[in-house]
């Protein structure tokens, strides 16, 4: 599999070399389009849409019209910009950028896009080594861009659907880029390094890892926690997820994590140690630290959580590239599967509405190989225990 970011850089360089246009197109900055921004296509295919126009702005403009009272337009734009999660807009922005680069390279019009152009994009991506899930994301982005501009969707044509079905059959639907799971055994090794670091930074990093592991929260939920979202009941903590990827309307849910006395994976002890350093002031539970480890008012970023996991995975001799924040969620779910916990009980803790989603985070491949080895001597070998 290729690195999408590297591919984009290569396409930028190629477009720059062939057309000398990339430096003139500010679309990678996602700036507000200018009147003289370049538009590809001629005749009936040409529309007055700047290539710089980000997806969120296209979404807002698709709603605003003359029939909205002037005093309500700003509020309508504000709410429209929040009709999707910020992560969704970021993903659309990234994939739309790749679409524009393809159109620049082959001098094709992106809006409205011909069905043949859409076919060319997904075929090139399949040949370049992109996975089915990423290609599906590009298809969705093309469709949404046309929906926002009230244009016919080129990805619904019969020819395109036949090509995309062939790609799905050829490449398969499984994601080859899933992050490896951090099981309990590996986390206990990490605990030796994390708990040996008596600094403020070390305390917060271990609290982040243990809390995400036991709550099975996404990194965006962990970094969005405020101090009032954590309640200490002595033998356990209750942690409130106000919003998540699967709860866009802020229904919220409380998740309990119990104390594990004497175990380095005890999330209650880790969070308490961090709170002693952080203090009880309002605001984000986990904070950005300054150069001298001073605690700021800014919340920890999603990317910092990923860097923390990679850092400690590397410290115990694992390939950091194979691990990320998802490794903690996958590790908790896989560990419970190994211990024989039912998928229903796992889903209640992880917040998954469908049991099949639990399987997405289960990494039992190596464990099953060990079961075949264990069959020879009649005992069960539990990885990471």
How confident is the model over 256-299, as pLDDT tens digits?
888 888 888 899 999 999 999 998 889 999 999 988 888 989 99
Look at residue 371 and tell me whether its pLDDT is greater than 90. no
C-beta of residue 370 within 8 angstroms of C-beta of residue 381 = yes
What is the Cβ-side half-sphere exposure of residue 154, based on CA atoms within 13 angstroms?
A: 23
Q: Which pair of structure tokens corresponds to residue 258? A: 């119990």
Q: Which of 29-33, 159-163, 205-209, 307-311 has the lowest mean pLDDT?
A: 29-33
Report pLDDT for 15. Answer: 46
Neighbours of 308 (CB within 10 A): 23
pLDDT greater at residue 90 or residue 47: 90
Ordered domains of the chain (ranges, CATH): 4-171 (1.10.150.130), 184-372 (1.10.443.10)
Residue 9 has pLDDT above 60, yes or no: no
Asked if 45 contacts 114 with a C-beta cutoff of 8 angstroms, the reply is yes
Segment 178-198 shows an average pLDDT of 85
Four-residue CA torsion sign, 21, 22, 28, 32: negative
Give the pLDDT of residue 153.
94
By the 10 Å C-beta count (0-12 exposed, 13-18 middle, 19+ buried), 36 is classed as exposed
Q: What is the pLDDT of residues 324-350, one digit of tens each?
A: 888 988 888 888 888 787 777 777 777
- Mean pLDDT for the stretch of residues 244-267: 79
Of the candidates 126, 111, 98, the one whose C-alpha atom is nearest the C-alpha of residue 12 is 98
Please answer whether residues 42 and 58 qualify as being in contact, where contact means their C-beta atoms are separated by less than 8 angstroms: no
Q: What percent of the chain has pLDDT over 70?
A: 74
Confidence of residue 255 (pLDDT cuts 50, 70, 90): confident
Q: What is the model's pLDDT at position 110? A: 87
Average pLDDT, the chain: 76
Residues 6 or more apart whose CB falls under 8 angstroms from that of 377 comprise none
Q: What is the pTM of this model?
A: 0.64
Q: Report pLDDT for 373.
A: 42
Whether the predicted pLDDT of 139 surpasses 90: yes
What the block records as the tokens of 356 is: 């099949």
Structure confidence by residue, pLDDT tens digits, 33-88: 332 233 333 333 333 334 445 677 778 878 888 888 888 888 888 888 878 777 77
């Amino acid at each position: 599999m290729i690195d999408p970011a590297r591919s984009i850089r290569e396409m930028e360089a190629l477009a720059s070399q062939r057309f000398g246009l990339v430096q003139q197109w500010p679309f990678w900055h996602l700036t507000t389009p200018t009147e003289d921004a370049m538009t590809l296509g001629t005749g009936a295919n040409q529309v007055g849409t700047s290539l710089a126009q980000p997806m969120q702005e296209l979404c807002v403009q698709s709603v605003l019209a003359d029939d909205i009272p002037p005093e309500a337009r700003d509020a309508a734009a504000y709410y429209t910009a929040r009709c999707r999660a910020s992560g969704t807009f970021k993903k659309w922005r990234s994939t739309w950028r790749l679409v524009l680069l393809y159109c620049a390279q082959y001098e094709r019009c992106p809006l409205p896009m011909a069905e043949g152009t859409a076919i060319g994009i997904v075929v090139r991506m399949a040949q370049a080594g992109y996975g089915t899930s990423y290609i599906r994301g590009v298809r969705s982005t093309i469709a949404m861009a046309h929906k926002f501009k009230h244009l016919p969707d080129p990805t619904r044509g019969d020819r395109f659907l036949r090509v995309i079905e062939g790609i799905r059959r050829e490449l398969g639907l499984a994601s080859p880029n899933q992050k490896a799971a951090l099981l309990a055994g590996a986390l206990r090794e990490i605990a030796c390094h994390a708990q040996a670091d008596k600094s403020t930074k070390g305390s917060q990093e271990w609290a982040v890892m243990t809390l995400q592991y036991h709550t099975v929260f996404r990194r965006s939920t962990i970094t969005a926690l405020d101090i009032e979202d954590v309640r200490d009941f002595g033998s356990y903590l209750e942690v409130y997820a106000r919003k998540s990827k699967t709860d866009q309307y802020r229904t919220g849910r409380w998740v309990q994590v119990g104390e594990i006395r004497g175990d380095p994976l005890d999330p209650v002890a880790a969070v308490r140690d961090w709170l002693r350093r952080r203090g009880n002031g309002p605001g984000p539970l986990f904070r950005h630290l300054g150069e001298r480890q001073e605690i700021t008012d800014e919340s920890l970023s999603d990317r910092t959580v990923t860097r923390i996991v990679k850092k400690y995975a590397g410290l115990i001799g694992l390939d950091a590239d194979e691990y990320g924040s998802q490794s903690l969620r996958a590790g908790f779910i896989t560990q419970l599967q190994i211990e024989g916990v039912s998928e229903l009980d796992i889903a209640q803790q992880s917040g998954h509405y469908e049991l099949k989603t639990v399987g997405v985070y289960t990494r039992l491949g190596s464990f099953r190989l060990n079961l075949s080895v264990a069959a020879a001597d009649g005992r069960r070998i539990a990885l990471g225990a």
